[in-house]
Amino acid sequence: LKFHPMLLSYLDEVCRIEAAAQSPHQHWTRQTFVNELNNSYAHYWVAELVDRAAIAGFIGFHEIEGAAYITNLAVDPAFQGQGIGEVLLRHTIEKAIGWQIHHLTLEVRESNHRAQALYKKYGFEIQGKRPHYYLNPSEDALILWTSNIQNPEYKRLILSAHSCDIV
């Protein structure tokens, strides 16, 4: 995988992945992504499968007062189950550590147990719930936070976590 900062030129592919990965749930529009790319607090990357010249997924976060709020992570369904979501998350965590960010947070659908297991592996813990946060269909969101990612113990967690092989 090769990571690139998300650019407007990637948005057709990003929107296709977003719609396919979130289906049948409500997903972001192209204008939402344009707004995010113009947000000075936002950082977004795409992951390219170099041997296939294909965008496999993307991730983004907002940097706010020492915390990184992960806003979106999606992997093309054609490439799901190959560890790409985990590699995207690790890339983001490593960036956040390097930028002296102290905490990570996000919301996840209460029914998305696969994503919750991944986040738990990287030290995220449930800190609350947002009732009816998601639409189409309505569903509660779990609010997840990490401990201080600048802590040497957390950095060891990241270094010791096994990367998945990417096909």
Tell me: the pLDDT tens digits for 72-127?
Answer: 999 999 999 999 999 999 999 999 999 999 999 999 999 999 999 999 999 999 99
What separation in angstroms does the CA of 134 have from each of 25, 108, 129? 8, 9, 12
Mean of per-residue pLDDT scores for the chain: 91
Task: Look up 119 and say whether it is catalytic.
Answer: yes
**Mean pLDDT confidence for 57-84:** 95
Question: What's the pLDDT at 161?
Answer: 66
The pTM score is 0.90
Kindly name the residue from 119, 122, 134, 154 that is annotated as catalytic.
Answer: 119
**Mean pLDDT confidence for 158-165:** 60
Q: What band does 24 get if pLDDT is binned at 50, 70 and 90?
A: confident
Kindly name the residue from 10, 36, 107, 122 that is annotated as catalytic.
Answer: 107
